A and B are shown apart, each in its own frame.
Chain A
Amino acid sequence: MQQGLGDLDELYQEVLLDHYRNPRNTELLDDPTSEVDAINPFCGDEIHMQLGLYGDTVASISVTGQGCSISQAAGSLLTEIVDGRTTTEARELRELFREMMTGEEVSEEVADRLEDSLALQGVRRFPVRIKCALLSWSALIDALDKVAPAKP
C-alpha cells in the first residue's frame, strides 16, 4: 500500500494556510524603532521585520518577506501574539515557541499563550522545516537586541 499526501495535513493546518494566503501586519511602519532582515542561507527564505516600541512595549510590528508557506505564515502568526507585549514577554514567547518546535509535549498553559501559533506544532514531524518556522522568531530577537537588550 503506497502512502499519499495525507500526512501533510498535520503540517499544512488551516490556520497556517490562512496566514500564508492572507498574511497579517504587512504594512511597513513609518518610523520603526528597530528593523532587521533575516535570511535562511540554506533555502533563501527571507523575513523583514520592523518593531515600533512604546517604552518597553511592542506597540506595532510588521513582517514582510518571501519564502515557503511555513516561514511566511509563522512570521504572520508571530505578529499577532507579539503585538502589545512587553519586550520581556516577547522573549518568553520565543522560548515557548522554540520549546514547542524542539520539545515533546505542550502544556495547556503554553498552548494558551502561543494562541494560533500552536498550529505550527505539526512542523515538528518535518524536522527539516523547523528552521523555516523559527526564522521570524530569530528575527524578533535580533530586532529586540538592537534596541532593548535582554535583562540580565
Chain B
Amino acid sequence: MLPATYLDVESIRSDFPILTRQVNGNPLTYLDNAATSQKPTQVIQSLVDYYERYNSNVHRGVHTLSIEATEAYEDARGKVQRFINAPSSESIIWTRNTSESLNLVAYTWAEANVAVGDEIVTTAMEHHSDIVPWQQLAMRKGATLKIIPETENGRLDMEQAAELITERTKIVATTHMSNVLGTVVDVKALADAAHAVGAVILVDGAQSVPHMPVDVQALDCDFMAFSAHKMLGPTGIGVLYGRPEILEVMPPWMFGGDMILQVSYEDASWNDLPYRFEAGTPNIADAIATGAAVDYLEVIGMDNVWAHEQKITGYALGRFAELEGINLLGPQEIENKGAVLSFSHDSLHSHDLGTALDQLGIAIRTGHHCAMPLIRSHGIVSAARASFYIYNTEGEVDVLIDGLKEAERYFSKAGIA
C-alpha cells in the first residue's frame, strides 16, 4: 500500500471530466461531496457500455443479452458485498438510495418488531432520513423515540447512550459519520450496547462507506444503508445490507415481479434473498455502474482515501483558524472526523456566502443540510459546508479560504458583514 502522500491526485483528477469545467469564469472548485460526488470516466463508460452493448432485462430471459446483463448486475452486487465485507451477496439489497434503505427497515423489520411501549434510540446528529421514519413509526406504534445527545466538542455522548439504550429498546438507528459535523461514531460500541439488550442496530453509512474502510462484520451491525452517488456512482441507486439471519425472516414490503416464488389468483409465496426485497425490474444500469465505482475505489484503496481526506481536513482546519467571524461546527481535531467542515458566519447567512463563492467557481452546500434539529441545536438556522473527496487538493482549500476572505471583504464593504 502506498503512503497516502503518494495518492496521485492529478492522475485521479484526469479521470473526472467535470473537473475541467469553468463556473462563472473560474475553474470549478467542487467542495460539495457530502451531497454528491463527481463521477469518473470509468463509471460513466460502464453506463454507456450497458446501454450500447448488452441492455436487457435481468433474471428473465435465456437469450445472450439477458444473461450478460444478469451476470453484470449480480457481479456488481458481489463487488459491493466484498467492499463492505458482508458475509454473503444475498445480504446486499439494491434500493434507490440511503433513504429508501432506511425506510425499508422501518416498514419491514421495525413494523413487525416494534410495539406499544417499546423504544427506538437514535442520535442528535442524524439526517432527516434517519429521524422522520422513526418518528412516524413511533407514532404508528405508540413507541418512544429517544435521542443520544451531542457533546460540547461535537462527539456523540456515549455515556448518555449507555443510559438511553435499555431493555425496552428495540432498534438503535445511528449515523456512522455525521453529514454536518463529520463526526465518526463508534458504531461497534453502540452495536454492543444494542445487542446486550436484544436490540438491533441500523447504521446510516451514507457518509462513511464512500470515505473510509467499512467492514459490517467487524462493526457487528445488523443493517447498513448507503447510496452509490456519494461514492463516485450514479444517482438513483442505493444499498441496504442486512444480517442474513434477520433478512431471512423479515417480511417483504413491495410486491411484484422478481420478488415472488409462486403466484396463484389467491396467494403468493416469496422468492429467496435478496430478490424478495427487489420487486420489479431493478435499476440494472446503475447497479452495474456502482460496481464500476467500487472497482475505482478499490484500486485506490479505502485506507488511502481516508488518509488523503484526513490530510486535507487537517490542512483545512488549520487554514480555517485564520478566518475571523467564522465558527466551525463539530470536532476541531481530525481524529475520527471525516472530510466535512460546516461553518456559520457571525452575521452573514450561508446563502449569501454560497452565492459569493459560486461567483468564484466554488461549490459548497448551504442551508440546513437535511438536519434541522442538529443545526437548530447549535443556535443557528443555516450553515455552509465544504466537504472533500479523493480529487480535492490542498490548493483547493486555499481557493476556498481566499474566497471566504474575498466574500468577507465584499460584504463588509456592503455593510452587512
Q: Does B355 contact A (CB under 8 A)?
A: yes
> Size class of A's contact patch?
20 to 34
Q: Does B281 contact A (CB under 8 A)?
A: no
Q: Most chain-A CB neighbours within 10 Å: which of B26, B355, B372?
A: B355
Tell me the bound Cα distance from A1 to B24 in angstroms: 11
Q: Does A4 contact B (CB under 8 A)?
A: yes
Q: Does B359 contact A (CB under 8 A)?
A: yes
Q: Does A150 contact B (CB under 8 A)?
A: no
Within 8 A of B (CB), among A10-36: 11-12, 17, 20-21
A69 surroundings in chain B (CB, below 8 A)? 349, 352, 416
Tell me the bound Cα distance from A68 to B356 in angstroms: 13
Flag if B410 contacts A70 (CB, 8 Å).
Answer: no
Flag if B415 contacts A5 (CB, 8 Å).
Answer: no
Flag if A17 contacts B415 (CB, 8 Å).
Answer: yes
A126 surroundings in chain B (CB, below 8 A)? 355
Q: Which of A2, A12, A45 touches B26 (beta carbons < 8 Å)?
A: A2
Closest chain B residue, CB of each to CB of A12: B414
Q: Does B351 contact A (CB under 8 A)?
A: yes
Tell me the bound Cα distance from A17 to B407 in angstroms: 15
Q: Which of B41-49, B57-65, B199-207, B360-368 contacts A (4 or more CB under 8 A)?
A: B360-368
Q: Which of B26, B372, B381, B414 touches A67 (beta carbons < 8 Å)?
A: B381
Flag if B360 contacts A66 (CB, 8 Å).
Answer: no
Known contacts A3-B24, A43-B366; is A8 also within 8 Å of B359 by CB? Answer: yes
Tell me the bound Cα distance from A132 to B349 in angstroms: 12
Q: Output the least CB separation between B271 and chain A (Å).
A: 38
Q: Which of B26, B360, B372, B416 touches A17 (beta carbons < 8 Å)?
A: B416
Flag if B381 contacts A5 (CB, 8 Å).
Answer: no
Q: Does B3 contact A (CB under 8 A)?
A: no
* A interface footprint on B145-183 (CB within 8 Å = 1, 0 otherwise): 000000000000000000000000000000000000000
Known contacts A2-B26, A66-B381, A67-B349; is A8 also within 8 Å of B367 by CB? Answer: no
Tell me the bound Cα distance from A132 to B360 in angstroms: 21
A46 surroundings in chain B (CB, below 8 A)? 381
A8 surroundings in chain B (CB, below 8 A)? 355-356, 359, 410
Q: Does B395 contact A (CB under 8 A)?
A: no
Q: Does A109 contact B (CB under 8 A)?
A: no
A45 surroundings in chain B (CB, below 8 A)? 351
